[in-house]
A and B are shown apart, each in its own frame.
Chain A
């Protein structure tokens, strides 16, 4: 298992797409802060923490993390490298668990760099007072959002393993990130009078803010972990049944 993780991490850090997405991540962080600083009418954030929370709610980081994971995983299947190793493992789950670890690393990398860049850009464009925020509050926000984003990446991984289609997975990921499912949740609520919105992964990513209530944070963590665990179990089950082509 450790060997497989080593192999996947070696490829992740050797892959050009990893660094291209990291570059996009940095650009996105700086440009977002720059845009906010130039447009006085949208200066509604009192500090960079609020701005960072709003940017994460926007779904761009979600797209970057998902794209990185899909590109990484699909390459192994499309190029057929998986055939070289699939029969060498005593358990098929060992094929998918390292990919989950890589999605963890990808999310952590992009989250960390995005946060650092946003804070730095905040200091550059707004001055030192703008980056005066509660360190604890921002760490709490980032941890919760990280769990939700990791779960989202695993959902994309599950879509890909199930369909073997990069296009389908990318489109599904983009549609979710563009809040297309919100309409569905509204419909469900209208007919069932049950607010499904607050129990979904994507809705929580879009809703969690710096000053959300403790109960909202707790709910988001529970939902993130439930999604994550269910996805890991499903991925392992699918991989055990799947034929390697």
Chain B
């Protein structure tokens, strides 16, 4: 299977502090890759490095089999939702999506409607984003990440701050997009229980180091306990 993301000794240092330390991560096409770790483990930084929002101080990212400077051109095939949805609160959902469509050169109005439908926001397209719930903002953030039909989408803690129903809806949406459109996802979270319901492979990150990478089929009860111990026992049943 084609490897979409391969990091080689990826390192990020802020001053003397190594936030990401020699991470060798591999994500294959069609996977939902769960990046699990405690708060401050370096998950967001890894995603920022993969998405090109931050530059590594060591190592490199190979994206769509493109290395070095060429990864810039591969970034066009990557959608991101990092930390929180980057949206304009005084604009409605349609206008926010339209902005990114303009940046990507997409002029079709039906494209925006279809995109909002796919994330379940078709009824709230004219509502100002400042009146959105956390879950709706997350959906809009995901819709923004999907503009331009990316093959890889990076989602940073997409279920943070959501109630159980909201978590289930986002989970269902990600599974559907993966199944129907073949989009590969890298999702970071500190909640293993939630992630284990959709992820097809996992990477455990602790203190900036990737401790282990396994497939869902390899996730035994013993390993689950091990994960819990690494992520501080956050299971969130």
Q: Which A residues lie at the B interface, using CB under 8 A?
A: 3-4, 6-7, 10-11, 14-16, 75, 79-88, 90-91, 243-245
Query: Which of A10, A16, A91 contacts B99 (CB under 8 A)?
Result: A10
Can you identify 23 A-B contacts, CB atoms within 8 angstroms? A3-B103, A6-B102, A7-B99, A7-B103, A10-B98, A11-B91, A11-B99, A14-B95, A16-B90, A79-B87, A80-B86, A81-B87, A81-B88, A83-B80, A84-B86, A84-B100, A84-B145, A85-B103, A86-B53, A87-B53, A87-B75, A87-B80, A88-B103
Q: Which B residues lie at the A interface, using CB under 8 A?
A: 48, 51-55, 72-73, 75-76, 78, 80, 82-91, 95-96, 98-100, 102-105, 144-145, 147-148
Residues of B within 8 A of A79 (CB): 86-89
Contact A80 B85 (CB under 8 A): yes
B144 nearest CB neighbor, chain A only: A84
Residues of B within 8 A of A75 (CB): 88
Contact A82 B86 (CB under 8 A): yes
Residues of B within 8 A of A88 (CB): 75-76, 103-104, 148
CA distance A136 to B5 in the complex (A): 61
Instruction: Determine the main DSSP class of A at the interface with B.
Output: helix
A88 nearest CB neighbor, chain B only: B76
CA distance A193 to B68 in the complex (A): 52
Contact B80 A3 (CB under 8 A): no
Beyond the given A83-B83, A85-B100, A91-B72, please list 19 additional residue pairs across the A-B interface where CB-CB is below 8 A: A3-B105, A7-B102, A79-B88, A80-B86, A80-B87, A81-B86, A81-B87, A82-B86, A83-B86, A84-B100, A84-B145, A85-B103, A86-B52, A86-B53, A88-B148, A90-B76, A243-B48, A244-B48, A245-B53
CA distance A114 to B144 in the complex (A): 38
Contact B88 A83 (CB under 8 A): no
A7 nearest CB neighbor, chain B only: B102
Residues of A within 8 A of B76 (CB): 88, 90
A85 nearest CB neighbor, chain B only: B103
Contact A4 B83 (CB under 8 A): no
CB distance from B137 to the nearest CB of A (A): 11
Known: A80-B85, A82-B86. A4 touches B103 (CB 8 A): yes
CB distance from B202 to the nearest CB of A (A): 24
B74 nearest CB neighbor, chain A only: A87
Query: Which of B55, B73, B86, B145 contacts A243 (CB under 8 A)?
Result: B55
A75 nearest CB neighbor, chain B only: B88
CB distance from B64 to the nearest CB of A (A): 13
CA distance A91 to B76 in the complex (A): 12
Known: A3-B105, A7-B103. A80 touches B95 (CB 8 A): no
Residues of A within 8 A of B88 (CB): 11, 75, 79, 81
Residues of A within 8 A of B145 (CB): 84
Query: Which of B53, B95, B148 contacts A83 (CB under 8 A)?
Result: B53
Residues of A within 8 A of B48 (CB): 243-244
Residues of B within 8 A of A10 (CB): 98-99, 102
Residues of B within 8 A of A85 (CB): 100, 103
Residues of A within 8 A of B147 (CB): 84
CA distance A11 to B91 in the complex (A): 9
CA distance A147 to B91 in the complex (A): 32
CA distance A116 to B82 in the complex (A): 46
Residues of A within 8 A of B75 (CB): 87-88
Residues of B within 8 A of A14 (CB): 91, 95
Query: Which of A7, A15, A87, A90 contacts B78 (CB under 8 A)?
Result: A87
B106 nearest CB neighbor, chain A only: A3
CA distance A174 to B78 in the complex (A): 41
CA distance A85 to B99 in the complex (A): 10
A2 nearest CB neighbor, chain B only: B105
B77 nearest CB neighbor, chain A only: A88
